[in-house]
Amino acid sequence: MKKFYYAVLFIFISTVSIYSQVSDYISSLRHGDAKEKSPLTITAELVQIEQISAINIAYKIFGENEYRKLEMLITGNSASVTLPQEAVIPPYIDYYLMIDLKDGTTHTYPEGIDQGVSTLQLAVSGVTEKDKEIIVLSPTDGEYLTPENLLISISFVKAPSDVDISKTKIFLNDAEVTSLALFAGELIVLSGESAEGSVPMGSSLLKIEVYDKEGNLYHTISKSFQVVTTEVFAEVSGRWKYFGNFRGESRSESYSSSSTWYNNLSADLNAEYESWNFNGYLYFTSEEKKHLQPYNRYAASIKNGDWLELRVGDTYPRFPNLILDGKRIRGVSGELNFGAFNIQAAYGETVRKIEGQLIRTYQAGEAPLGSNIIAIDEAKYNAPYGQVSLGMYSRNLLAIRPSFGSGENFQWGFTYLHSIDDKESVELGARPQENAVLGTDMKIAFDDQNFVITSQAAVSLHNTDISSGNLTDAQIDSIFGPGGYYDIDPDDVKKIRDIVGKVITVNQYIGPLNPQEFASLAGEAALNMNYLNNALRVSYIYRGNDYFSFGQSFLRTDVKGINVVDRIRMFDNKLFLSVGYENLEDNLQETKIATTKYQTINTSLSFFPRTNFPNVTVGFSRFDNNNDLNLKDTTYQRYVVDDITNRFFVQLSYDFIAGVRHNSSLSFTTQKRDDGSFSAVNSTYNSGTLTLNSYWNKQLSSIFQLIYSSTELERIGRIDDTTTAKKYDYIIEKTVQPYDYVTLTLGCKYKLLEDKLLLSATLSPSFGDFKRQALDFIADYNILANLSLAFQARIYRIPDKATNSIIGLVTRLTF
Amino acid sequence: MLKLKNILFAAGLVLLFGFYLGRGNKPSSDTPVALVKKIVKDVTYRPASDVSDWDAAKVGLPLNNGGEVKTGTKSLALVLFTDGSGLLKVRENSILHIYGEKKDKKLNKNTFIQKGLVGFDVNKQEEDEEFKFTTPSVVASIRGTNGFIEHNDLDSITTIFIERGDVGFITSNGSEGNVGSRRTARINPNGTFHVDSASVQDTTTFHRTNRTTIKKIKIQTRFGELEIEYEEQENGLLNGRRNREE
């Protein structure tokens, strides 16, 4: 077993990009290689963590106008999230971060998204084509092999004719072993017998370089695997497999003369027993405070194939996205999938109770009106009213979804969600709420999923104040009927109350008030077709202005319209053309002064050549929002929506060998917003990023990055011109606010002491309107094969203002 | 009944022979159809049925169209198809024939199980690409699934168990059937069949099929080293005990 412990080594996930933008809360972003239909993890390195209460990522796939939101998991000084595979679709993902601060304000990263600053684009490569063409049959990533069963095998059965198999090079731990391989037609085999003595025990990195007939590098594939003894292999291949790690961190963060210590402890545990999988996760932090929502996280799950999953603790269940989609629930969730019949359920707390605080008291008749002036316990406080800092009620949520059909060709599901604030959970609170949602969803698929129809619909009821409970008979009699406010038979109202009251509290605060106008209905239907190299999706959405689900905090409501997206693969999948058009409008229940139309055009062309040439993605988007109000109409001029944003971007990535291996990327984005509204905030945004990662040898790698950013905010003041006969003309005052800066990043990683010590340093100065010097230093030392100690230091200097630092020590134990 | 069995067996061979001849109509490629990924104990092969000698197989052995793999007692062979479409786990006392035909960039696979138990894990096949299992009783077409197929050469009954996905099949009398997740089809020699929920024994067999590790215990005695190889069973008991003294 000891040997087995030693055999488990760390796997470092290489990051392909580092973004560095101006932010007081995010120092950098990292993400893995964005490959089509592969989950993608994005990690944000944080600063000023003591001010952050939550971080969400808003992302959208090509052609969609609506951003989907996911909560990021904050652990230590980083926040991470894994985008589901269905969101990782070429040509790119648009995204930005929403940072909620403890003072109630929200910032974005990049800063100024709501003022028209461009979001981040993450190119998603359709690399699966080359991966499908050149198949590494053995080993698989992370596989354990014994020396006698060592097998490296590469198949070119599906490779295009311009690939020259004989030019293929195979490297094991950077040493070329091509000469040991057997070339058998379209198959290359290197087995343990021929590789005897050339493959050391332990972790091995296999690298395969494939060339075309002109000698150009066509594709590179890497696989990591472990060579272990027969005894260790028997342990690894046993019926029980378990992995885990503990991580402890102590960190001091100094920012603007205030210094804070953070202590965190996290543990990941994973065990497998045949088809059973068990997972556990713990995260305890000194940031956990009773007067805040939880920072600690704990979860455990058990899973068996696709048919059983049960999770307890902090879970993020996914139901139809109109109703419940990735919201954190502290409780239990799970699913049972039998194929013909399936059931999914979740129950737990979404908001923890936080007691309010009494600020001052008022005697009867003295209390002013105010949302935070509430009735209080007179006997306790010697006054009937008080001004309070409102507490938060604990909120519980129940969701259940039975469904019929496996989803392979057909599935029909029904979802019920009920969520209610516990009125008794806090004393100094106001307006506890309740929400009920009922929905159905259906999927029909033909022709091996090439023709798929999906649809879902849901209706919601939302009571914004259940403190007074259900309407009493006397209240109904006084409000309804002849002589009342509404000429409706009170008995009918009582019947409705008794029926609906079984689901949700019925009183004057329940909505929607206009259900006949479908105000609380949300629905969408989509048709996906995948034929003749076209992936066509046509969808329609409808969301009434009063639709609301406690399980889906970020859904855009009061909108309807169509969306058409087509992704066309051409020239043997070398060229991808993507075109999207969306036409939405709001004001469905005529609750606004005017109806705004949102028209979006997205186009993109991606070129993935199979020769020694960069991958290129070029994109153009146009956002046109207009509500047809006239600026000269003085009554409604402040409600005018009339803006057009044009965005153009180019991204290039290129792996090449110039002495040593490099991977490089270059991107440029330009965006211009013309705002014809009363506030008239025009903006122009240009940015460019050049990144070069170089791998000098097994020990040394480096990064060079240059970022240029230029933002110009133009404000136009409109003033009534009374000096002319034209009463409604305006004098325009133009002010321009430029904000330009350049950030240079130089960094390197160096391994020494037989790879036991990893030193990493990055220097990142910014010049121009934004001045800052940032230094990151990490020393990570493997004391034992499964125990490491890391020292992290970050220093940020803002000239003439402050020098801030984060210094921490992290220990990590893996077993 | 015996006559019918013989006829079916002969018809199966003729079909496979035709498959083989069909391959010969095109320029022959020396690209292997499959290769041996792992070997436990006694695994032999021969390049074609007309070759009389069976040679010891080695890890990495390429198997061309018509190649055969035979496993002995308590033995195991893992076979990978070169288009990455699937992995076969050939359990003890089995004989497997590998056939493959390449059309454009697609490889149509046909595996004839002469006898024994073969676990399979087959990826989703592309359109107009085939992955077939043939026994003397049935031809099963796989599109992407895992499970096992067992052909008992004594009573000529074929059992198909599916863990995930579904499989369509045609029996020797032309009857068509389908077997889905966690269900088992038993095909009789006369082509009649019965599909039912998988029994505990079928599920146990499936889990055993997936087990590809033989554990060893070495005991030093005054007579030499005693080596015990065993395969752990569901209930923790030992199976396949083998002693060897040196």
- Preceding amide of A110 cis, omega within 30: yes
pLDDT band at A276 (very low <50, low <70, confident <90, very high): confident
Which of the 8 DSSP states describes residue A551?
A: T
- Which amino acid, A775? L
Residue A370 class from Cβ within 10 Å (0-12 exposed, 13-18 middle, 19+ buried)?
A: exposed
pLDDT at B144: 78
- On the question of pLDDT at A686 being above 50, the answer is yes
- On the question of pLDDT at A674 being above 70, the answer is yes
Identify the helix (H) or strand (E) that includes residue A385.
strand A385-389
- On the question of pLDDT at A502 being above 80, the answer is yes
pLDDT band at B233 (very low <50, low <70, confident <90, very high): very low
pLDDT band at B154 (very low <50, low <70, confident <90, very high): confident
The Cα A110–Cα A637 span in angstroms is: 30
Q: Which two tokens stand for residue A538?
A: 């046509």
Least Cα distance to A35 among A132, A115, A118 occurs for: A132
The Cα B234–Cα A120 span in angstroms is: 52
Q: Which two tokens stand for residue A102?
A: 């403890």
pLDDT at A68: 82
Give me the torsion for CA of B15, B19, B21, B22, rounded to 10°.
130
Closest chain B residue to the Cα of A154, Cα to Cα: B82
pLDDT at A1: 39
The distance from CA A375 to its chain's CA centroid, rounded to whole angstroms, is 41
Pick the more confident residue, A718 or B131. Answer: B131
- On the question of pLDDT at A415 being above 80, the answer is yes
Closest chain A residue to the Cα of B34, Cα to Cα: A187
Which of the 8 DSSP states describes residue A325?
A: B
In words, the CATH class of domain A128-236 is mainly beta
pLDDT at A482: 81
Least Cα distance to A564 among A594, A603, A511 occurs for: A603
- Residues of B with CB below 8 A from A181's CB? none
Least Cα distance to A397 among A551, A293, A552, A522 occurs for: A551
pLDDT band at B115 (very low <50, low <70, confident <90, very high): very high
Name every residue whose Cβ is closer than 8 Å to that of residue A796 and which is 6 or more positions away in sequence.
A27, A47, A772, A773, A774, A803, A804, A805
**Average pLDDT, whole number, for chain A?**
84
The Cα B237–Cα A73 span in angstroms is: 44
Are β-strands B224-232 and B238-242 bridged in parallel, bridged antiparallel, or unpaired?
A: antiparallel
Residue A1 class from Cβ within 10 Å (0-12 exposed, 13-18 middle, 19+ buried)?
A: exposed
pLDDT digits (tens, 9 = 90+) for A537-574: 999 999 999 999 999 878 889 999 999 999 888 876 67
The residue written with tokens 């079928």 in the block is B202
pLDDT digits (tens, 9 = 90+) for B68-111: 999 998 889 999 999 888 899 999 999 999 998 887 777 888 89
ipTM of the complex: 0.74
Domains A2-123 and A128-236 share a fold: yes
pLDDT digits (tens, 9 = 90+) for B165-192: 888 999 888 889 999 888 899 999 888 9
Q: From residue A525, give the alpha-carbon distance in Å to each of A437, A453, A537, A559, A579.
A: 18, 7, 10, 14, 20
Segments making up each domain of chain A, as ranges? 2-123, 128-236, 357-389, 470-502
- Do residues B77 and B87 lie in contact, with contact meaning Cβ atoms separated by under 8 Å? no
- On the question of pLDDT at A720 being above 60, the answer is no
**Average pLDDT, whole number, for chain B?**
78
Which of the 8 DSSP states describes residue A368?
A: P
pLDDT at A688: 92
- Which amino acid, A435? N
pLDDT digits (tens, 9 = 90+) for A515-530: 888 999 999 999 999 8
pLDDT at A65: 63
pLDDT digits (tens, 9 = 90+) for A207-222: 888 888 888 878 878 7
The Cα B133–Cα B206 span in angstroms is: 17
Identify the helix (H) or strand (E) that includes residue A231.
helix A230-236
- On the question of pLDDT at A162 being above 50, the answer is yes
- Do residues A465 and A420 lie in contact, with contact meaning Cβ atoms separated by under 8 Å? no
Which of the 8 DSSP states describes residue B5?
A: H
Which of the 8 DSSP states describes residue A147?
A: G
CA angle A684, A688, A689 (to 5 degrees): 150
- Residues of B with CB below 8 A from A238's CB? 213, 215, 232
pLDDT at A16: 42
Of the candidate ranges A137-141, A316-320, B60-64, B147-151, the one whose mean pLDDT is the lowest: A137-141
Chain A residue set in contact with B, beta carbons under 8 Å = 135, 137-138, 148-151, 153, 155, 157-159, 182, 184-187, 189-193, 230, 233-234, 237-239, 274-275, 305-306, 339, 406, 448
Segments making up each domain of chain B, as ranges? 2-209, 214-242
The Cα A717–Cα A286 span in angstroms is: 49
Q: Which two tokens stand for residue A799?
A: 């000239």
Kindly report the nearest CA distance between residue A132 and chain B, in angstroms: 9
Identify the helix (H) or strand (E) that includes residue A397.
strand A395-404
- Do residues A696 and A174 lie in contact, with contact meaning Cβ atoms separated by under 8 Å? no
In words, the CATH class of domain B2-209 is mainly beta
pLDDT band at B237 (very low <50, low <70, confident <90, very high): very low
Residue A662 class from Cβ within 10 Å (0-12 exposed, 13-18 middle, 19+ buried)?
A: middle
- Do residues A423 and A466 lie in contact, with contact meaning Cβ atoms separated by under 8 Å? yes
Query: Shortest CB distance from B59 goes to which of A157, A192, A239?
Result: A192
* CATH entry 2.60.40.10 includes domain A2-123: yes
pLDDT band at A6 (very low <50, low <70, confident <90, very high): very low
- Best probe of the A interface among B35, B142, B179, by most A CBs < 10 A, is B35
Window 20-59 of B: residues touching A by CB (8 A cutoff) are 29-32, 35, 37-39, 58-59
pLDDT at A383: 92
Q: Which of A227-231, A653-657, B140-144, B146-150 has the highest mean pLDDT?
A: B146-150
Identify the helix (H) or strand (E) that includes residue B210.
helix B200-210
Of the candidate ranges A27-41, A743-757, B189-203, the one whose mean pLDDT is the lowest: A27-41
The residue written with tokens 């469904």 in the block is A403
The Cα A44–Cα A107 span in angstroms is: 14
pLDDT at B17: 40
- Do residues A54 and A297 lie in contact, with contact meaning Cβ atoms separated by under 8 Å? no
Contacts 24+ apart (CB under 8 A), A454-457: A454/A525, A454/A526, A454/A528, A455/A523, A455/A524, A455/A525, A455/A526, A456/A320, A456/A321, A456/A322, A456/A523, A456/A524, A457/A322, A457/A521, A457/A522, A457/A523, A457/A524
Subunit contact A191:B58, Cβ cutoff 8 A: yes
- Residues of A with CB below 8 A from B67's CB? none
Q: From residue B53, give the alpha-carbon distance in Å to each of B49, B67, B79, B98.
A: 10, 12, 20, 17
The Cα B195–Cα A616 span in angstroms is: 53
Subunit contact A189:B83, Cβ cutoff 8 A: no
CA angle A810, A811, A812 (to 5 degrees): 120
- Do residues A285 and A294 lie in contact, with contact meaning Cβ atoms separated by under 8 Å? no
Identify the helix (H) or strand (E) that includes residue B17.
helix B2-24
- On the question of pLDDT at A158 being above 60, the answer is yes
- Residues of A with CB below 8 A from B180's CB? 339
Which of the 8 DSSP states describes residue A201?
A: S
- On the question of pLDDT at A767 being above 70, the answer is yes
Which of the 8 DSSP states describes residue A721?
A: -
pLDDT digits (tens, 9 = 90+) for A47-99: 777 678 788 899 988 767 678 888 887 766 778 888 888 888 877 888 999 99
Q: Which of A7-16, A21-30, A173-182, A319-328 has the highest mean pLDDT?
A: A319-328
* Residue B200: φ, ψ to 5°: -60, -35
Closest chain B residue to the Cα of A236, Cα to Cα: B213
pLDDT at A127: 55
- Residues of B with CB below 8 A from A190's CB? 60
- Mean pLDDT across A470-498: 86
The Cα A29–Cα A62 span in angstroms is: 21
Identify the helix (H) or strand (E) that includes residue A58.
strand A52-61
Pick the more confident residue, A698 or A384. Answer: A384
The Cα A211–Cα B190 span in angstroms is: 53
- Residues of A with CB below 8 A from B35's CB? 137, 151, 153, 187, 189
SS3 A448: coil
pLDDT above 70 coverage of chain A, percent:
89
Q: From residue A104, give the alpha-carbon distance in Å to each of A53, A54, A108, A471.
A: 9, 10, 13, 34
- Mean pLDDT across A316-327: 91
Pick the more confident residue, A448 or A432. Answer: A432
Subunit contact B216:A155, Cβ cutoff 8 A: no
